[in-house]
Amino acid sequence: MYILPLLLLVPMLALAAPLTQVTLPDGTQVQLNDDHTWEYLVVKPAEPVAQPSATGASSAGVAAAPVLTEQAKAHPELLGQATRDGIRLVLDKVTGSDTLALSFTATNLGDRSAIQVSGWITLFSQDGRQWAREPVRFWIAETRMPETYLRKGESRTTRLVELARPAGLTGTPLVRVEIGEVVFR
């Protein structure tokens, strides 16, 4: 009777939890996770902004969008790459004015064939302010068509991702790539 609720909790236990943050000798900051993975620290939470109320008093802070760390602004190439479960995504280029076209390369470093890679793309201005965060499917293979799978050792260009440029965002945006889920066959 108690086994079913415990089994439902098992997937939540599989998520990586941060253990500690470390500054490397070159000044790069990384986060070490409990599942033996690490990641660059590229985003910091924004300071809450005090909102004046109708009575003139300041109300509790309203959370603002996250901003980039100084290391991310100095090294934007850190934003354009992500790795999860043996799948690596790298941003190749950003083109377009009203509609942004983003191209990526997906590489399978693992030993299982991937049929779907999904996650998020976050757009930042050059000064590091977040403008948009959109869910994206980077790689989708056709069922029962093995030639469309991302196989072990393969590196392929993903489908073109198109996003509407947020109003007010000028210049070439800084693009953060995150992998949320990888489905294997």
- Cα separation of 138 and 100, whole Å? 15
Q: What is the pLDDT of residue 140?
A: 94
Q: Is the pLDDT reported for residue 18 higher than 90?
A: no
| Domain presence at residue 7 | no
Q: What is the pLDDT of residue 17?
A: 74
Give the residue numbers spanning the domain of 117.
17-184
CATH number at residue 130: 2.60.40
- Say if CB 29 and CB 39 are below 8 A apart: no
Report pLDDT digits (tens) over 59-90: 555 667 888 988 888 888 889 999 999 999 99
| Domain presence at residue 5 | no
Residue 87's SS3 state is strand
Highest mean pLDDT range out of 10-14, 37-41, 151-155? 151-155
| Domain presence at residue 83 | yes
Residue 108, burial from CB neighbour count under 10 angstroms (0-12, 13-18, 19+): buried
Of residues 7 and 152, the one with the higher pLDDT is 152
Average pLDDT, whole number, for the chain? 84
- Number of compact structural domains in the chain: 1
Q: What is the pLDDT of residue 61?
A: 57
Report pLDDT digits (tens) over 122-150: 999 999 999 999 999 999 999 889 899 99
Q: Is the pLDDT reported for residue 13 higher than 90?
A: no
Q: How far is CA 7 from CA 4, 14, 15, 98, 181, in A?
A: 5, 12, 15, 47, 20
| Domain presence at residue 73 | yes
